[in-house]
A and B are shown apart, each in its own frame.
Chain A
Amino acid sequence: MTAASKAPPTSFFGKLITLRPSRDGAKKRFIGTTVSPLVLYMAFFTLFPLVWGFSLAFFEYSARRAGGPVLGLGGDNPFVGLAHFRSMLNFSPEAPLEIRQFHLSIKTTLLFSFLVLPLNLLLTLPLAVLIESVHQKAKGLFRTIFFLPVLAPSVGVGIMWDYIYHPQRGLLNGILSLFKGKLVGTNYTGDPTLFVLGIPVPLLAIIIAYVWQDLGYNLVIFIAALQGIPESIRDAARIDGVNGWQMFRFITVPLLKPTVLLAAVLTMISSFTVFDIIQVMNNDGGPQDLTRVMVLDIYFNAFRYQRMGWSAAVSIVLFLIIFSISLVQTRLLRTEWEY
């Protein structure tokens, strides 16, 4: 059977790899030339560190100790198997400090993420609808204004909000003092006894700063999605007599479900991996570790306290949590239709 007598492939990859005259061969050579080195480079710098990080979770590893001949593993950096993961299940109040900090960091991270997500979506979706309803020229201006914080470095955002929250000189207490007629000296980021509905105020303070910076990102995603809704559907709804709220609730929100899924997954992943803004605002995990999220816990254990094996194990747990939640979100929010 010759190439000429074969039935033509119907699948995308079948068409891609089928030998064709020199024009397609040249195209494939061009793609190979430009993509292959990068793929190999990325594979080496992504795959190897992933495997290394995964392996470390089964060793009691510190870079300061002389290990075995193979990548420093073994010797003074012994293989411990699943010991790190087993110790994570020690919920006793007398558990070692790093385990109690780990449990607290999981709780803090989950609290952070599950507060950021609804707050972000509740703000950005209506805001996107409002922006879409104004004059064309004003749309661009509002989009820019709300997107600017996304472009600002997180360190700068953290410093700015630190200033706003300062107990004696901060903007927030200054405004509250004006209203109350007396000096207000609340330490929003440093008082471990302040709670609102059971949520530590230092964590809430960081959540506000984080959402302020992040909402522009989802806003532009929603604006783009709103622009993709066919006007004919809206026209039909108007003919049926819907008002603004009904349009939003019964037309806009359901049609944006795929976009909401995308925004929710992205927001969840980024909130689970938050680090820089917390590092700036509460550099050691906050008062009584109330803002010690998992990435901060990993960072301290790996680079300050040299417990790289333990940190690698915590990283795997973080990955599994993010993966599970993303799967659940995808299941709950998927749609079987498109327009």
Chain B
Amino acid sequence: MQKKSFLLLSGLLVLSLVLSACGGTDAPAEAEGVTLRVWTHQNDAFNSGLEALADAYMADNPDVSISFETFDYDTYIQTLQTALPAGTEADILQMFGSWVCSYAEGGNLAAVPDSVLSLADAREQVFEAQIAGYICDETLYGVPQEFNIEYGATLVNTAIAEEVGISDITAGWEIWDDFTADAVQMAVVQDDVMTRAGYNFTASDAIPATFYSLILQFGGQYLTDSGFQVNTPEGKQALEMMVGLVEAGVVDPVLYNDEENWVGDSYFEETSAMGLVGPWVVPEYAGDFPDVADVTEYVQLPWAGSTQAFVASSGWGLAVSTNSAVQEAAWDFVKYVTLNADNAAQWNLASGTLPALKFNAAGANAESLVSEFPHFGPFLEILEYAQYEGHFPDRDLVWYDITYPRIINCLQGNATVDETLETLEREVNESY
């Protein structure tokens, strides 16, 4: 009897410990104040900007307390996926726009109230390429803070350009032939080994961005009423152009890919003279490579066809959980951070990102951004030409597991253009 009672008591003790550990952590709506929990991924620049705005918000709203929890990127995705079904997620969730609909369709995200931002106003105030990721079945589920861009302009090491005799590379190129010539001139090959790429565009973000952007520029579309289509004249033209760049000698995709010489590392280590990667990379690497950062400029890529357009993912922004007990306060903070032009610009300055708000792409706020980040200039001129990449059942699968490996395989000479396009189209359509 004693043994049974002891075991029973032990079991109850453990159960109570477990339940308290697993219990929901709803933000207590205290009589005198509100606590907002915010989840973000670990990016020092992003989070320092957000925390500064939170401090200012709390100063203006003393009854609100805001606490941050940050996670490294992979852990953040897993945390969202385990916390959402359990209902233990934070009130405000930092979201990458391309993910939003997959979470919203599961009923995990709250729709943005019209009092915060109506759909019509969202389309008017925010660049379409960015807000589109947050709109699911004509309902808005969050607000982007940045314009995510992985195409349109390339990193250029102006010192290397001068060294090889290219004067004023920052003036840009009218046509791709001129660009290719400069890239080949900046490449270095020793004993048949490329020791410096002229133009490194063979990373897992750059390849899909390039391929789908070129399709648009050649007058095509890859998302049609008949589904995903790239085995088209425009798709073939786009892929052949990419193969042509490799054959011309701008990059060796066997040595420069996601496994080795990833574009950001390679560019700042000066094993690439030019590289296709978004402007977020400059503040990320400038601290460790100040000399390279000093001679870095972004220069617009030439348009390839008759259409001035390029593909953009929907970038990082903020959403509110349906499980939040303090949604009104949460949306008020989100509105403060994302829709107040000065606050949004302040965050862009702190995080080194381009503005999602159209207002901040021109005028005094834009000038502040360019003054702090001169390399933003070429991007601000082309934001209006961006087209949202489109809704996929799983965008990361399409980008990283299908498009990138199939195209790099083609660029490495292991598959023909036709085989690649056929496989790409079939595999993406299977994912629906």
Binding site for B on A (CB under 8 A): 28-29, 32-33, 36-37, 40-41, 44-45, 62-67, 72, 76, 94, 96-97, 165-169, 182-185, 187, 189-193, 202, 282-284, 286-289, 300, 303-306
Query: Which of A44, A64, A283, A305 makes the CB contact (< 8 A) with B108?
Result: A64
Q: How far is the CA of A96 from the CA of B74 in the complex (A)?
A: 25
Provide the residues of chain B in CB contact with A191, threshold 8 Å: 254
Q: How far is the CA of A99 from the CA of B50 in the complex (A)?
A: 42
Q: Is the CB of B412 within 8 A of A192?
A: yes
Provide the residues of chain A in CB contact with B82, threshold 8 Å: 63
Cβ proximity bits B400-432 to A, threshold 8 Å, 1 near / 0 not:
111001001100101000000000001100110
Q: How large is the interface on B (under 10, 10 to 19, 20 to 34, 35 or more residues)?
A: 35 or more
Of the A-B pairs whose beta carbons lie under 8 Å apart in the complex, a sample of 8, sorted by A's number, is: A66-B106, A67-B85, A167-B261, A168-B195, A182-B191, A184-B193, A287-B259, A305-B397
Does B257 reach chain A (CB closer than 8 Å)? yes
Considering the complex of A and B, which 8 residue pairs feature the smallest CB-CB distances, nearest first? A185-B193, A190-B259, A63-B81, A183-B191, A64-B106, A66-B107, A182-B191, A40-B14
Query: Which of B7, B84, B85, B255 makes the CB contact (< 8 A) with A168?
Result: B255
Q: Is the CB of A183 within 8 A of B190?
A: yes
Evaluate whether A64 and B18 lie within 8 angstroms (CB atoms) in the complex, with A37-B10, A183-B193 already known.
Answer: no
Provide the residues of chain A in CB contact with B431, threshold 8 Å: 97
Query: Which of A168, A185, A283, A289 makes the CB contact (< 8 A) with B258?
Result: A283
CB-nearest residue of chain B to A291 = B259
Number of A-B residue pairs, CB cutoff 8 Å, is 127
Evaluate whether A32 and B3 lie within 8 angstroms (CB atoms) in the complex, with A168-B195, A187-B259 already known.
Answer: yes
Evaluate whether A192 and B18 lie within 8 angstroms (CB atoms) in the complex, with A168-B195, A183-B193, A286-B259 already known.
Answer: no
Q: Is the CB of B271 within 8 A of A168?
A: yes
Evaluate whether A97 and B254 lie within 8 angstroms (CB atoms) in the complex, with A187-B259, A284-B204 already known.
Answer: no
Does B219 reach chain A (CB closer than 8 Å)? no
Provide the residues of chain B in CB contact with A32, threshold 8 Å: 3, 6-7, 10
CB-nearest residue of chain B to A181 = B191
Tell me which residues from 96 to 131 in chain B have a Cβ below 8 Å from any Cβ of chain A: 102-103, 105-108
Query: Which of B85, B106, B194 makes the CB contact (< 8 A) with A185?
Result: B194
Q: How far is the CA of A304 from the CA of B17 in the complex (A)?
A: 31
Q: Which of A41, A44, A64 has the most B CB atoms < 10 Å from its CB? A: A64
Provide the residues of chain B in CB contact with A28, threshold 8 Å: 3
Tell me which residues from 216 to 249 in chain B have a Cβ below 8 Å from any Cβ of chain A: none
Query: Which of A166, A193, A282 makes the CB contact (< 8 A) with B412?
Result: A193
Does B11 reach chain A (CB closer than 8 Å)? yes
Provide the residues of chain A in CB contact with B107, threshold 8 Å: 66
Distance from B160 Cβ to chain A, minimum over Cβ atoms (Å): 16
Does B51 reach chain A (CB closer than 8 Å)? no
Provide the residues of chain B in CB contact with A303, threshold 8 Å: 74, 77-78, 81
Provide the residues of chain B in CB contact with A182, threshold 8 Å: 191
Q: How far is the CA of A36 from the CA of B396 in the complex (A)?
A: 46
Q: Is the CB of B402 within 8 A of A97?
A: yes
Provide the residues of chain B in CB contact with A96, threshold 8 Å: 430
Q: How far is the CA of A191 from the CA of B190 in the complex (A)?
A: 19
Q: Is the CB of B10 within 8 A of A284?
A: no
Evaluate whether A282 and B190 lie within 8 angstroms (CB atoms) in the complex, with A289-B405, A303-B81 already known.
Answer: no
Q: Is the CB of A190 within 8 A of B84?
A: no
Q: How far is the CA of A63 from the CA of B3 in the complex (A)?
A: 42
Q: Is the CB of B195 within 8 A of A183?
A: yes
Distance from A247 Cβ to chain B, minimum over Cβ atoms (Å): 46
Does B164 reach chain A (CB closer than 8 Å)? no
Provide the residues of chain B in CB contact with A97, threshold 8 Å: 401-402, 427, 430-431
Distance from A141 Cβ to chain B, minimum over Cβ atoms (Å): 36
Beyond the given A33-B10, A286-B259, A288-B414, could you list 18 further A-B residue pairs with CB under 8 A, ordered by the A residue number?
A32-B7, A36-B7, A40-B14, A44-B18, A45-B18, A62-B106, A64-B102, A64-B103, A65-B106, A76-B106, A96-B430, A183-B190, A185-B193, A187-B259, A190-B258, A190-B259, A202-B259, A306-B394
Does B13 reach chain A (CB closer than 8 Å)? yes
Provide the residues of chain B in CB contact with A169, threshold 8 Å: 271
Query: Which of A36, A168, A183, A193 makes the CB contact (< 8 A) with B10?
Result: A36
CB-nearest residue of chain B to A185 = B193
Distance from B322 Cβ to chain A, minimum over Cβ atoms (Å): 10
Query: Which of B7, B81, B204, B405 makes the CB contact (< 8 A) with A64?
Result: B81
Does B260 reach chain A (CB closer than 8 Å)? yes
Tell me which residues from 44 to 99 in chain B have a Cβ below 8 Å from any Cβ of chain A: 74, 77-78, 81-82, 84-85
Q: How far is the CA of A62 from the CA of B397 in the complex (A)?
A: 15
CB-nearest residue of chain B to A45 = B18
Q: Is the CB of B106 within 8 A of A167?
A: no
Evaluate whether A167 and B255 lie within 8 angstroms (CB atoms) in the complex, with A185-B194, A303-B74 already known.
Answer: yes
Q: Is the CB of B85 within 8 A of A63?
A: yes
Provide the residues of chain A in CB contact with B258, threshold 8 Å: 190, 283-284
Provide the residues of chain A in CB contact with B255, threshold 8 Å: 167-168, 185, 187, 190
Distance from B210 Cβ to chain A, minimum over Cβ atoms (Å): 18
Cβ proximity bits B1-31 to A, threshold 8 Å, 1 near / 0 not:
0010011001101110110000000000000
Q: How far is the CA of A62 from the CA of B14 in the complex (A)?
A: 30
